[in-house]
Amino acid sequence: MDQLYSSALLEKAVNEFAKLPGIGGKTAMRLVLHLLRQDASAVESFGQALVTLKHDVKYCAVCHNISDTEVCGICADNRRDHTTVCVVENIQDVMAIENTQQYKGVYHVLGGVISPMDGVGPSDLQIQSLVGRVAEGGIREVILALSPTMEGDTTNFYIYRKLENAGVRITVIARGVAQNDELQYTDEVTLGRSIVNRVVFTGKL
C-alpha cells in the first residue's frame, strides 16, 4: 500500500532520501522528520555541506583518492613509502587499511573491479594510470589488495599481466580475509595482518 502524505514537500523529501543506497521508505521518513525537528541553521548547514562536497571535492591526480586538493594528503606526505603502492577497489578500502595503522606506503584507487556482468571492463577503471605510474620508475612493489571475490581475482590477474614485465614485485594480501568478503567490512586486526603477511602473486586465478 502506498504511503499517503499530508504534504507534497514532505513526500518529495522522503522520495529523495529513499534514492540513497540502503535507505528504504520508512528510514527515509525518519530521516526527514528528524531534519524537520532541527533548527533551520542546522538543516541549512547539512544541505550546504552536501552541495559543497559535490562542487568542490577532487580526486587525487596521482592515486585517485578523494581529496580537497589536487594531490591528496597521503601522496603529498614525504614520510610515506612511495616505493610501495597498494592497489584498492575504492575509497572505503583506503580508509579501512589506514585504520589498521599497519601500512605506510601509498595507494592507487581503481574505482571498481572488472565485472563483465555489470558492464565494467579494464578501460572503465584506473588500471592504465597504474601502469603509467609504474613506468615512471621509483616503485618497487605493487600490493594487490582487492576483495577476494571472483571479480577481484580477475582484476588481480589482469593487473599482474599488465605489470609482470615491469620490473616490480607484485604481491597480494594474505587470505586472512574470507572468500567473497569486501575489504571495507573486514575487521582491522584481520585486515592489518593480511597486509603485513602479503605474499608474492603467482599470476593464477
The residue ranges of every structural domain in the chain are 8-56, 70-200
Residue with the bigger pLDDT between 187 and 72: it is 72
Provide mean pLDDT across the span 31-43: 95
Residues in the chain: 205
Provide mean pLDDT across the span 50-66: 93
pLDDT, averaged across the chain: 89
The backbone torsions φ and ψ at residue 76, rounded to the nearest 5 degrees and listed phi first, read -85, -5
Provide mean pLDDT across the span 22-48: 94
The Cβ of residue 87 has, within 10 Å, a number of other Cβ atoms equal to 24
Give the strand pairing for 141-144 and 58-59: unpaired
What CATH class does 8-56 carry? mainly alpha
Is residue 205's pLDDT more than 60? no
List, for residues 69-122, the tens digit of each pLDDT value.
999 999 999 999 999 999 999 999 999 999 989 899 999 999 999 999 999 999
What is the predicted pLDDT for the residue at 180? 46
* 3-state SS, residue 82: strand
Q: Which three cell numbers stand for residue 96?
A: 579501512
What CATH class does 70-200 carry? alpha beta
CA 33, 34, 38 angle in degrees (round to 5)?
A: 115
What is the predicted pLDDT for the residue at 1? 47
Percent above pLDDT 70 for the chain: 89
Provide mean pLDDT across the span 189-200: 78
Q: What is the pTM of this model?
A: 0.80
Q: Which three cell numbers stand for residue 58?
A: 577532487
DSSP code at position 126: T
List, for residues 125-158, the tens digit of each pLDDT value.
999 999 999 999 999 999 999 988 899 999 999 9
| Contact by Cβ (8 Å): 74, 63 | yes
Strands of the sheet with 199-200, listed across from one edge? 105-109, 81-88, 141-144, 169-172, 199-200
**Of 108, 96, 83, the residue nearest 182 (C-alpha):** 96
Same topology, domains 8-56 and 70-200? Answer is: no
Tell me which residue has cell 547539512: 46
What is the predicted pLDDT for the residue at 89? 96
CA–CA dist 157, 205 (Å, integer): 6
Tell me which residue has cell 504511503: 3
